[in-house]
Structures are given as structure tokens and as C-alpha cells.
A = this chain, B = another copy of it.
Amino acid sequence: MPQTDPFTYNTPKKMTDAELARALRLDAAAEIDAMNLYEAHIDATDNEDAKKVLAFIAKDEKEHYALFVELIRRLDPDQAEEMAAAGPKLDTILSSSSGKVPEEAVEAAAESDSAAGNVEERDLLRRSTVGSLLGQLQD
């Protein structure tokens, strides 16, 4: 018998803006927990009806997650900056031998990519070259 706190969801006070930002990140994390929970259940059952319902809802949680991430991106300039740079940084890490790339190299890649302004083209390329998990995840 765990002790259920009867008042977990009470609202102690209005949040400050900084507290709200943290609350929205927590909301994003809650969506991660939900999609992981449902996909773990999909993995662990052969019941087709359950798999379908779980797949439908897990897809929806990914919409929610994307909405929270987008909202956080708009509200937190530091996070927006890091998201804008994540593509070339990741490319640099993935093209190294061990991943332990010097931080300078990763930053440099982000800056040169930003200078070239080629965000969208890169997106397309990435989709066709990376993806070792795709098969499994598209089931």
C-alpha cells in the first residue's frame, strides 16, 4: 500500500513566468512518459485491438509533445537557439568515430551551417541517410 497523497493536484498559488516555463517542460516530459508507456504495451502484446488503440493514442501524444516543444521553443530563446543548431551539431557527432568530438568542432559546425542558411535542405538529406531504427518504429 503506497500512501496516496490526496492533495497532489491542489494549486498552491499562481506561478511566476519562470515557474510556468518549468511547468511546461514538465508537461513535455509527461508526454514522453505516456508515449513510452503505450509503446511498451504495444511491444508486449499480440492483441490487435489493443495495439491499434494504443498506436492511435501514442500518435496523439507525439502531437502533444511537439506542441509543448514548439511552445517552449518560442518562450525560451536559449532553447530556441540550441534547437536551431542541433542539426549540424548532431551531424558532426554522428560523422565522428566515437562521438567524443571537441565542443569547439561541434560549435563550429553549427555556426558554418547557420551562415550557409541551408536548414531545410539538410533536413531532407538527413531523413534519407539516417534511420537505423525506422523499421522497428514504423510497425
Cβ contact within 8 Å between B17 and A137: yes
Interface residue tally for chain A (C-beta within 8 Å): 109
A67 to B103, CA, bound (A): 13
Give the chain B neighbours of A77 by CB distance below 8 A.
Answer: 134, 137-138
Q: Give the copy number.
A: 10
Give the chain B neighbours of A86 by CB distance below 8 A.
Answer: 63, 66-67, 69-70
Cβ contact within 8 Å between A8 and B18: no
10 more contacts with CB within 8 A, not counting A6-B26, A13-B44, A69-B86, are A1-B29, A5-B8, A7-B19, A7-B40, A24-B50, A49-B71, A52-B96, A58-B78, A69-B69, A102-B107
